[in-house]
Amino acid sequence: MKNIFTSRPVITFLLITFLLSSIFYFLIIYTGKIGSGFGLYVTGLMWCPGISALITSLILGRKLSELGWQWGNAKYQLRSYLIPLLYASIAYIIIWSIGWGGFYNKEFVTQVSNSFGLTQLPSGLIIALYFIFMGLFGVIGSAANGLGEEIGWRGFLAPELSKTFNYTKTSLISGGIWAVWHFPILIFADYNVGTPYWYGLTCFTVMVISISFVFTWFRLKSNSLWTGVILHASHNLFIQSIFTPLTKDTGNTKYFIDEFGIVIPIVCLCFAIYFWSKRSQLISIPNEIDNRH
């Protein structure tokens, strides 16, 4: 019977990942804030899966080049950047249209205009400039942190699981592990937008497992971990740094926005179903043709 607990590489990777992560769990939980330590605690945490993948590869005597460093076909990298923008845009257009949140947060836009030193420009232009600057240059900083996670999750874990499981199970298992890895700071720190932890936990878990289908599809299709890095960077950038802060609170907005509200998980679930429907294109996965479900 196929079981991840009989896989030495996977178990080794997970043990090292959670052992290293426990250091930063403690620091973040002790302070109660993910922004503590000038954000360096979170950066350290995000690099634990990557460092674990490197250590595990060395323990197993594998070449580090096997983690998927090749760039691959550029079209997959471009799509990796655009897809989070697409599902975030759909989610927030729904939120703004129904009135679960308002467009736009004037206080945030004022902060942006002051920071840019362009206080005389109209708000619409300030928003456009912020979107362009963040979209072009903010993604670089976002990718630096995302790389730490993706070396682990998509560089090592997803390909390793795909040696035993089909695309569906690989996506579910890696997505579940990815979600659980976030639980300590979600439950015991302030990694939330203010909803009850059980609500935020549920929404976040659905979202992460859903986008795991997208991340896994691109990783296996492109044979490049950089699709995961770009997807991760784009996801964090557009949701956390652009759409969420631009949204005005209309009362119960926190229950609908960001990774801890209900709308993005539902939209991401739709994207997961779409990519799942394209699983037959991943013919390189062992037994995928004969065992797709």
Query: How many angstroms separate the CA atoms of 178 and 49, rounded?
Result: 10
pLDDT interval class at 6 (50, 70, 90): low
Q: Coil, strand, or helix at residue 236? A: helix
Q: Is 164 left (phi over 0), alpha (psi -120 to 50) or beta?
A: alpha
pTM: 0.93
Cβ distance 232 to 149 under 8 Å? Answer: yes
pLDDT at 170: 97
Q: Has residue 292 got a pLDDT over 70?
A: no
Average pLDDT over residues 11-22: 98
Query: How many angstroms separate the CA atoms of 287 and 293, rounded?
Result: 11
Q: Is 223 left (phi over 0), alpha (psi -120 to 50) or beta?
A: left
Angle, CA 281 vertex, CA 278 and CA 285 arms, to 5°? 115
Nearest to 287, CA basis, from 162, 147, 159:
162
pLDDT at 244: 97
Q: Coil, strand, or helix at residue 192? A: coil
pLDDT at 276: 98
pLDDT at 2: 61
Q: Has residue 283 got a pLDDT over 80?
A: no
Q: Has residue 9 got a pLDDT over 50?
A: yes
Query: How many angstroms separate the CA atoms of 162 and 173, rounded?
Result: 10
pLDDT interval class at 5 (50, 70, 90): low
| DSSP 8-state assignment for residue 103 | E
pLDDT, one tens digit per residue, over 233-276 is 999 999 999 999 999 999 999 999 999 999 999 999 999 999 99
Query: How many angstroms separate the CA atoms of 270 and 226, rounded?
Result: 23
pLDDT, one tens digit per residue, over 78-107 is 999 999 999 999 999 999 999 999 999 999
Nearest to 25, CA basis, from 42, 38, 50, 37:
42
pLDDT at 293: 36
Handedness of CA 104, 110, 114, 117 (dihedral sign): positive
Q: Coil, strand, or helix at residue 34? A: coil
Mean pLDDT of the chain: 94
Handedness of CA 113, 116, 121, 125 (dihedral sign): negative
The phi, psi pair for 103, rounded to 5°, reads -115, 115
Q: Has residue 7 got a pLDDT over 90?
A: no
| DSSP 8-state assignment for residue 136 | I
Angle, CA 155 vertex, CA 149 and CA 160 arms, to 5°? 120
The phi, psi pair for 291, rounded to 5°, reads -140, 65
pLDDT at 114: 95
pLDDT at 280: 93
pLDDT, one tens digit per residue, over 171-227 is 999 999 999 999 999 999 999 999 999 999 999 999 999 999 999 999 999 999 999
